[in-house]
Chains A and B, each alone.
Chain A
Amino acid sequence: MTDSGTTKPWDEVSERLLRELAPQVLGVVARRFRDFSSAEDAVQDAMLSAFKQWPQEGIPENPRGWLIQVASRRMMDTVRSEIARRQRETAIAPEEEPAIEPAEMETDMDPEDTLVLLFMCCHPVLSKSSAIALTLRAVGGLTTAEIANAFMVPEATMAQRISRTKQSIKASKVPFRLPTPQERMQRLPAVLHVLYLIFSEGYASSAGAELQRLDLAREAIRLTRGVRALLPENAEIAGLLALMLLTDARRAARTGPQEELIPLDKQDRSLWDRTELHEGMEMLKLALSKGAVGLYQLQAAIAAVHDEAGRPEETDWPQILALYELHQRVAPGPMVTLNHAIAVAMVRGPEHGLECLLALDNDERLAGHYRLDAVRGHLFEMLGDSGNAIQHYRTAAAKTTSLPEQNYLMTRAAHLEEASKESSSGLPAPQSQR
């Protein structure tokens, strides 16, 4: 079975290539055996074998063929034991084993399979967390253990989740074919939403053992690039990719040495990834040139304005304000209003920003949510009203369930408290004993 493999050392590139093969192999095997769910299990097994053997024995000359062979062997085993079970139960004459040559199947490859899988795994009938888990495994080529680690649940739990998701797909009778152009238009938003959630979910920095952490943001970018290659004319996908790149470019600057949160206006911009920024800007231009401005393009445009500024003081806030005003017309919501209020504050002054927030005081959707207090705190701080700023920061800190946010907000409050003591007494704030 093992061809004489290459002696190339196993590295990140090899890993990525292996992952990219997963949906291709799955497409072939699923169509041949007409069973997406079992095929997906079989391919996952083949992936696990590859992850174990290839680093040791080298990458086979025909890696895709190798995976197809291993996966189909598993499928044959599954089929045989299913036949045996049925025979035992019904005492019918032995069935013919389907004669399928793995070598044949190689030519079955269809470049659109990845798209078929993506639409299937992101089907609107599935919950977002189900879709995310299945997409990462079936399309992303990640192992169950890797996905479980990323979401900090036991592997068995994640395996079950994925199993259930596939059962839902089966029950919904989703056919294994590319959706029609009309269906595609309808279902693409769900796909993009799943990809966006994978990107923005973030990951906990402390989990169990110091395992190699899976970078979900990078996986999301990789998957979105893949979709874009298959639907190059689609402006929304380009917009989403632009948004991801323009956001991801800041990754090195957004957390400090204690994993603490560093907000945009305090980040060391020299740490931003210039290449990613540039690519994001180009992608945004491309997306906008295609006509209608969707939400991802809009958010990418806002990110681009931030990213263009060499220093926070150089940020083109009037531009950002205009973009948020557009956002509010196209897709209003409390979070948009909050961000709009910040932009208003930056352009017209914090009092005006605070006025914008009044509309949110009775908004049910924000009840108990920390961000309203956090933004109020920020605007009061801009205004120079330390007392109110501190109060709102601390209220926000008490409301948030995010530890990094909590740490950030209470530290901000403490900082303001010291600064106001300093200025009121004319003396430096008392030094704490260490």
Chain B
Amino acid sequence: MKYILLMSSTQAGVTGYHTWTQSDRDKHMQTLRTVIEELKGTGEFVATEGLAQPKDAKVVRGEKNGLPVTDGIFPESKEFLLGYWILDVATAERAYAIAGRISAAPGPGGVPTNMPIEVRQFADRATNAH
């Protein structure tokens, strides 16, 4: 079953990250890299991507005269998606366990960030035999 793990933050959160020491950031990344390697090893890894910051985002709402109607304004306090992981796992519990690992990745001073991670199951597009 495929799951997507969504990592969000606010502008304030991102600003906070920039105050970490390089060493803390390296340790954080190292933990995530370890998780990726493990998941590649178990065959559960599908993808992980980071998204560009909201200043590079556009919101599109329909078309007018054949052109997209776009808007780039994001309120300062609004939560936005930083990135995601896509997993293929046997159970929901496994998805939650992996999310827990990622959430426990160390932050400043080695303390786990405890980042809340939203876990969502993909809808299945398969048409089974009937």
- A residues with CB within 8 A of B: 127, 129, 151-154, 156-158, 160-162, 164, 199-206, 217, 247-248, 250-251, 254-255, 259, 261, 263-264, 401-404, 406
Contacts and interface: CB of A to CB of B under 8 A. Distances in A.
B121 interface: yes
B128 interface: yes
Given A158-B43, A160-B43, A202 B90 contact: no
B128 to A, nearest CB: 4
A153 B46 contact: yes
B44 interface: yes
Interface string B21-63: 0000000000000000000111111110000000000000000
A214 B12 CA distance: 48
Most buried by B among A152, A157, A403, A404: A157
23 contacts: A127-B90, A129-B90, A153-B46, A156-B40, A157-B40, A160-B42, A164-B42, A199-B129, A200-B128, A200-B129, A204-B124, A205-B125, A247-B129, A251-B129, A254-B127, A254-B129, A259-B127, A402-B125, A403-B124, A403-B125, A404-B125, A404-B127, A406-B123
A401 B124 contact: yes
A133 B90 CA distance: 14
Contact of B43 (A164, A217, A261, A264): A164
A152 B122 CA distance: 12
Contact of B127 (A129, A255, A264): A255
Nearest to B88: A153
A151 B129 CA distance: 16
Contacts, number: 77
A264 B124 contact: no
A201 B128 contact: yes
A263 B47 CA distance: 35
B130 interface: yes
A390 B88 CA distance: 34
Contacts of A203: 126-127
Interface in B55-97: 88, 90
Contacts of A264: 130
B123 A401 contact: yes
A239 B62 CA distance: 54
Given A153-B46, A153-B88, A160-B42, A206 B125 contact: yes
A254 B130 CA distance: 7
A157 B88 contact: yes
Contacts of B123: 401-403, 406
